[in-house]
Structure formats: C-alpha cells, structure tokens
Structure 1
Amino acid sequence: MIGLGTLINTVAIIFGGLIGNFTGKLFKEDQQHAITKACGISVLFIAIAGAMQGMMAIDGKNLVSGKSMLVVLCIVFGTIIGELIGIENGFERFGEWLKVKSGNSGDKEFVNAFVTASLTVCIGAMAIVGAIQDGILGDYSTLAVKSVLDFIVVAVMTSSLGKGSAFSAIPIFLFEGSITLLAKLISPIMTDMAIAYLSLIGSILIFCVGVNLVWGKTVRVANMLPGLIFAVVAVYIPGGII
C-alpha cells in the first residue's frame, strides 16, 4: 500500500507524544529541564556524526576534510532566503493556531515544542528517501525504521518540552505524504550524491536544533531550511562545489 510508511511514521509520533505526555507528569520541572538538555546533547552528537561522515574521508593513510564551500554556500544562501520568506514566523503562526484549536492556550512552551520537534523529525535524508521508496515501490521499510527513532525522540521531547511536540505528527504527515505522491517526479533528481549532500546539510541543521535545546532558542533553524534545496541544486552545478 503506497503511503503506508507515512501513516506508520505519523502514528508512531502520536503514540510517542501520548507516552511522553504521561511520563512527563512524573518529573518535576527541574528534572524536565535536565531531560531537555540531555536530549539536546544527544541530538548534537548525532548531528556531528552525520556531518563528519559527509565532510571527512580517508585519503591513503590521511584523514582529510572537504565540502566546506558546499556547507557555507548552502547554509548562508539558504538562511538568506528563509529570512526573506519568514519560514520560522510561518511555523510559529501555525503553532499558535494549533495551540488555540487544541485547547492548549495556557501552555507557554507549546509553540517552541511544536517547532523544535517538527524540525527534528522532518529534517534528514531518511524522510525524503523513505517517502520516495514508499511512493514508487510501496517499500515502507525506511520510514518504518525512522518511525521507531521518531517515537523515541518525540516521547522524550514531549516529556520535557510539552504537548506541542506531539503535534509534529501534522507536518511529518504533510511532508512525507507530499513526497510520496510526487515520488516519480522527484526520484530522478535524488541521485546518490544529492542524497549525500542533503544528508550533510540536514545534519548541520539538526545540530542547530540541538543547540536550541541545550542553550535555549538561539538559532532560527526553520529559516535555514532552503539550504536543503541548495544542497540538491549544488549537484547539478557544472564543475561542482567543493
């Protein structure tokens, strides 16, 4: 069944949110803050590992780095576009709307939890590659694996940040569902190199999510999302980007 992977991922996030909401009530406020920091540190190291995998290579007996220009151009130009469009503000307005409609008007952390969790589960190559596989082959295995990871992440985030994290099920359903429907159009573009570039830039954006979890909101990560598009476009620039 085409689209089953998206449904599994969405349901996993919802259940993760329900469990996180229940377990979160068992912790005191200072303990919830500690869990948030721990989650942020975990996200940082996962992101560092992904970024280093994309930038580091073994040349003979030497460990060399590359793709610095790719990172700089994608992040900088992506942020410029995102700031001009106001993607972060759009996320926050949608979060405010959800907060009111879901009866959580009194939850001061709802919007922050929603935006943080949404970016964490949506950014990354697994979501795109898995949705394409689901749309073309009906193979939902990649999204099934991602669902397990997202279940854990959202459960932890909900227990520490609040109910808003569970509502990340909405953007993941729309994001992965749209890619699944458009899979046959997107598939030729997503070469192995495009996926590698996408994974690299995605890891850096996830690192920024971790920064916000540990030190408070200091980076407007949503405004950096166009960098993912630049990462794919970079593959088709004559001469390439180092």
Structure 2
Amino acid sequence: MALYGTIINGLLILIGSTLGLFFTKIPERYKETVMHGIGLAVLLIGLQMALSTEVIIVVLLSLLTGAVIGELLHLEEGLNRLGDWIGSKFTVSKEKEGFSVSQGFVTASLIFVIGAMAIIGALDSGIRGDHEVLITKGILDGFVALVLTTTLGFGVALSVVPVVLYQGTIALLATQIERWLPEAFLNGLIVELTAVGGLLIMAIGFNILKITKIRIGNLLPSVITIVVIYYLYQLF
C-alpha cells in the first residue's frame, strides 16, 4: 500500500499534537535527550540507505550538481523566506487571542512538509513499498508536534492535512514511474536514488545532533539530477 507510510506519519502527528494539549511545559533536558536519540536513529537509517550504492561516482556527481543548482537558486534561503513570509501573514497577538490556530498550523506544516525525508520517504513508499523512512519521520514529527502544541496550541494538529496531501501525492505518482522507465533502468536508479536520499537523511541527523549545519535545502536538487546522471552513465 503506497500510502501506508504517509498515513502512519499523519497519525503520529495527531497523537503527538493530542498529547501536547495535556502538557504545559516539558523540561528542556527531556527534549534535548529525546532529540539526540532521534538524531542517532535518523543517522543509522541514512547510513543504511547510503551504503546501498553500486556506483559511487553517480551518487557523488548527483550531489555535486544538485548542490550547485541549489546554491545558484538559493533554495535554502528561499524556503526560509517563504516560511517567514507565510508566518508573518498569520501571526496573531497572543496577548489578545491566546494561541493562534493559524500560526500553529503554518509553523508545523512548514516543519513537517519541507525537507528531504518527506520527499525521499514518499518516493520509497511509492516505488519500493518501503515505509521505514516515513515511519521514522512520523516518530520525529510526532515528538515535534507534541512540543509545538504546548506552545502554539491546537493549530499544530491541522498540519496533518498538507502533510498527507503532499507526501501522498508524491507516493502515488511514484507508483506510476515504472510505466515511464524500463524495468532494468528503474531498478538501478532506485538503488542510487536510495543512496542519495540516505546521505541527505544523514545530513538531517547531523543537524539534529547539532554536529554541523548542512544546508539540506540546497542539496535537494540532487534527487532530480540523479535521474539524468544515471541515465548518462547507462548510456555510455
């Protein structure tokens, strides 16, 4: 079932948001330790995926070309500006109306939808029927939803709608990719796409652990350039 991972992801966001309504304050040390545990698990998943590569040069060239495109387009900065702009349109004074439903919705939606795990996980669900990435993302999203709900309120739970629509659409489209590409080519492409996605997910893990600050948004084009580079590799 292509949508299984997406549905689980959405349910975990709802569970986290519901639990968050019953907590007014979570000690900082609990948040930090749990996030460290999640970061380590994300690193492990990314490493397992990255090691699946059979043609490391294809992965390397995909990341290099993707990084150049991302930097030229300033994707990371653009995503941040988009989030700030949308957030500014929905910000409501808490002193007047308490928690803003719109603010919670927009903030959570941007956090859960924008990122490599959403894209790679949905592709994995659609192409391979592998939901591990989206389930892991769901666990991470659920905890983040719990924390956000304690400060932003019920609006966080509504973010499940764009998450399910976005990831579900990618997963369903991915199920049709075999109609456009030969089976032998597709099987090899999936392996290398998985490896590229694994490296991006490892970058998320490093960022969660605050080991470094990788501009993951500027590396996202590598998910697209891998198709062209792998095609050229097979051609020559």
Distance 1:181 1:72 in 2: 26
Q: Is the 8 A contact 1:21 1:159 kept in 2?
A: yes
- 1:171-210 superposed matches below 5 A: 173-177=165-169, 180=172, 184=176, 187-189=179-181, 191-210=186-205
**TM-score relative to the length of structure 2:** 0.70
8 Å Cα contact 1:43-1:209 kept in structure 2: yes
Aligned residues: 217
1:226 aligned partner: 221
CA drift at 1:28 = 0.2
Tell me what 2:98 maps to: none
Match of 2:38 in 1: 39
- Letter of the 2:32 counterpart: H
Give the match for residue 153 of structure 1. 140
Q: Which amino acid aligns with 2:28?
A: E
1:211 and 1:218 in contact (8 A); partners too: yes
The counterpart of 1:84, out of the listed 50, 56, 72, is 72
Partner of 1:211: 206
State how 1:50-65 maps to structure 2 within 5 Å: 50-52=49-51, 54-55=52-53
Gaps of 5+ in 2: 95-102
Spell out the pairing of 1:113-124 with structure 2 (5 A cutoff).
114-115=110-111, 118-119=114-115, 121-124=117-120
Equivalent in the alignment of 1:12: 11
CA distance in 1, matches of 2:74, 2:186: 30
Partner of 1:63: none
Let me know the Cα RMSD of the aligned residues.
Answer: 3.9
Q: Secondary structure at the match of 2:232?
A: coil
Counterpart AA for 1:32: K
Moved more, 229-238 or 206-215: 229-238
Does residue 123 of structure 2 align to residue 128 of structure 1? yes
Amino acid in the other structure paired with 2:57 = M
**For structure 1, which segment, 32-41 or 169-178, has the greater mean C-alpha deviation from structure 2 after superposition?**
169-178
1:75 and 2:63 aligned:
yes
Q: Could you tell me how far 1:207 is from its partner in structure 2?
A: 0.3
Distance in 2 between the 1:75 and 1:129 partners?
A: 19
Structure 1 regions of 5+ residues with no counterpart? 56-65, 134-140
**Aligned partners of 1:228 and 1:204: how far apart in 2?**
11
Letter matched to residue 172 of structure 2 = T
Provide the rounded CA distance (Å) in 1 between the counterparts of 2:192 and 2:57. Answer: 12
Whether contact under 8 Å (1:20, 1:159) holds in the other structure is yes
Over 3 Å counting, the alpha-carbon distance change for 1:37 and 1:132 in structure 2 is: closer
Q: Deviations over 1:186-238 (max 9, x none)?
A: 74237111111111100000000011100166111011011111222222114
Compared CA separation, residues 81 and 105, structure 1 to 2 (3 A): farther
